[in-house]
Chains A and B, each alone.
Chain A
């Protein structure tokens, strides 16, 4: 009888597939994982605590750095929370600009996920194709906001800049281009038998489990739960748009892939409708006092970020800084299911499952 023993393996914090500084301590028997313990906090910067000493405007650049792949939605959730407390009504034009920026950001974020996920699975090329499209979006948002990653575009009561000349035309050109490339991705990856065999039936969880673990975003929708805050609790102007909530059926990695790719398509639809509805020009800022002070009390708002439900809780005592601030960071919540999913899987599936959750470590660690 051979003597066998379990092996303790540290995956990360320096590992090509942990998407940042994430560590996973796994007990493996051969290649089969017996137990997995995620270790987080390597990128913790204490955004929430820092926010207590900052005025609301000063917090906005910090939110950029939480989910750095979709900074626009983070900007929005903070501004939206403060606006809710102050009761500020935004001009339509500013809201449309915000929606455009957020949906472009959503596409960019899903493209990064698509590229890095395929990179995890072993295909190098889709990463570069996805980044070609993302570069166009980043350039568009750079023209709009002056930043490539940390946009710092939204302000309480509106947005910092109006769109520069010709920007709307360039966005409109981008939509059909992106559609064409999306079809190409399906040729390259969507029908690839090797890819399908890697993701189908991997990392399956049921609707109940997903709800018990408080998953959100594509991680929840892949099980068939029809829940998208843009649809079911419309914020901003989302009730004016006609789009589908993409849901899966089986709750495996393949459904998560389909959900995210479908969401790119839906975001393109929203962008197209924006141009139909949008006034030609308007005010970019509502009337807000120079020094922004949220009235005493508390508020919690939640919106749909590319990764799931991002929420912002503000407890204010009427000063120009929040008394306490809390972000519900979707990546952090989505990550909690990982130990359960990894049990009994092998090393290759570990990467498939971890990649499929779509975590951004800046957001997990806050």
Chain B
């Protein structure tokens, strides 16, 4: 029984409350710290690929405080709410988007020792909770009383529903091989071989569907700047806008961590023969793989144009879903005959 389970089962009291509080804030700090620097990294990498410097004014040569300044600015901005917006929904929408983004982090195991909720259906929990964010986006689009926002919200709903399915289907192969939905079990099953080698097609589908879930180029239709100005958050400003922005990057954190866990072997060393599974090394391996995945997401964003809404649907239902289903079948066959 791990220490977190002992904590959960211990009698309530002030010390327990404070421990939970401290753990929660620690996680929040790590995530927000990541978000701060992921935004900076994205801008820096985009800048480098586009022959620019990126932020280099606030916080020294590398613009280390740029995101902090941006968030501060958003905090200080006047909170504008359109006169004809649906007041209650308008206020609740950013929260609906933001809360699930943080809920999903609970189940992600980062290293052997550093993980929070070790629940049996971790993967299912992740997928179920992350789907909830769509409701927030649709609500935002509807409540803004803006035609562009409405179109953005509708696009988001259509897109996220149709990409949720291939996303789930692509991981079924992994579940077949592991025999468990627990993310820690999934990582442990990859001690000798990461699943990306066993399930390359699943990885590809998961990556594509994950990009669509994140609303990132080439699937950034809900906020397609050149078409819908800013999509579902066109009427949001100040900290309500920051909520959407933050949840987007928290999801980037979560999806990248999930890819690392599901396909890249989590905290296990990349080359199994080196036997480099030390106690502190797990965190390093995890972060290296994780940074690689985040870089991949940014790299794709820099390079590709956007798909069209109907092509996106067609691609999701007619290409990704059949391929994902075929992958499940092939995985079952491989599992039956070779393992």
Q: A17-B226, A198-B306, A348-B224 are in contact. List 8 more A-B contacts (CB 8 A).
A: A7-B147, A16-B225, A31-B151, A123-B304, A192-B304, A197-B311, A347-B151, A347-B228
Given A15-B229, A346-B310, A349-B308, A122 and B303 touching (CB < 8 A)?
no
Number of interface residues of B (CB under 8 A): 28
Whole-angstrom distance between the alpha carbons of A118 and B304 in the complex?
10
Chain A 120-134 against B: per-residue CB contact (8 Å), 1 yes, 0 no? 111111001100100
Q: How far is the CB of B162 from chain A (nearest CB, A)?
A: 16
Q: Looking at chain A, what size class is its interface with the partner chain?
A: 20 to 34
Across the interface, which residues of A come within 8 angstroms of B224, CB to CB? 122, 348
| Contact, CB under 8 Å: B305 / A121 | yes
| Contact, CB under 8 Å: A128 / B52 | yes
Across the interface, which residues of B come within 8 angstroms of A119, CB to CB? 226
Measured CB to CB, the residues of B under 8 A from A are 46, 49-52, 147-148, 151, 217-218, 220-221, 224-229, 302-311
Chain A 90-124 against B: per-residue CB contact (8 Å), 1 yes, 0 no? 00000000000000000000000000001111111
Given A122-B224, A132-B51, A197-B311, A16 and B229 touching (CB < 8 A)?
yes
Q: How far is the CB of B144 from chain A (nearest CB, A)?
A: 14
Instruction: Identify which of A15, A119, A348 gathers the most chain B CB atoms within 10 Å of its CB.
Output: A348
A9 interface residue per 8 A CB criterion:
yes
Whole-angstrom distance between the alpha carbons of A14 and B15 in the complex?
57
Across the interface, which residues of B come within 8 angstroms of A351, CB to CB? 226-227
Q: List 25 A-B contacts (CB under 8 A).
A: A9-B148, A16-B229, A17-B226, A17-B227, A122-B220, A122-B224, A123-B217, A123-B303, A123-B304, A123-B305, A125-B303, A128-B50, A128-B51, A188-B303, A194-B304, A198-B307, A346-B308, A346-B309, A346-B310, A347-B227, A347-B309, A348-B221, A348-B227, A351-B226, A351-B227
6 tightest CB-CB pairs across the interface, nearest first?
A122-B306, A123-B305, A128-B50, A348-B308, A17-B226, A121-B305
Across the interface, which residues of B come within 8 angstroms of A154, CB to CB? none
Contact partner, A122, options B51, B151, B217, B229, Cβ 8 Å: B217
| Contact, CB under 8 Å: B49 / A125 | yes
Measured CB to CB, the residues of A under 8 A from B are 7, 9, 15-17, 31, 118-125, 128-129, 132, 188-189, 192, 194-195, 197-198, 346-351
Q: How far is the CB of A12 from chain B (nearest CB, A)?
A: 10
Whole-angstrom distance between the alpha carbons of A179 and B42 in the complex?
30
| Contact, CB under 8 Å: B50 / A129 | yes
Instruction: Identify which of B46, B229, B306 gathers the most chain A CB atoms within 10 Å of its CB.
Output: B306
Whole-angstrom distance between the alpha carbons of A194 and B227 in the complex?
17
Across the interface, which residues of B come within 8 angstroms of A120, CB to CB? 226
User: Which residue in chain B gives the minimum CB-CB distance to A189?
Assistant: B305
Across the interface, which residues of B come within 8 angstroms of A9, CB to CB? 147-148
Contact partner, B218, options A118, A122, A348, A349, Cβ 8 Å: A122
Whole-angstrom distance between the alpha carbons of A347 and B222 in the complex?
12
Across the interface, which residues of B come within 8 angstroms of A129, CB to CB? 50-51
Whole-angstrom distance between the alpha carbons of A350 and B226 in the complex?
10
| Contact, CB under 8 Å: B305 / A198 | yes
Across the interface, which residues of B come within 8 angstroms of A124, CB to CB? 46, 50, 217, 302
| Contact, CB under 8 Å: A194 / B310 | no
Given A17-B227, A194-B218, A348-B224, A121 and B49 touching (CB < 8 A)?
no
Instruction: Identify which of A31, A129, A132, A195 gathers the most chain B CB atoms within 10 Å of its CB.
Output: A31
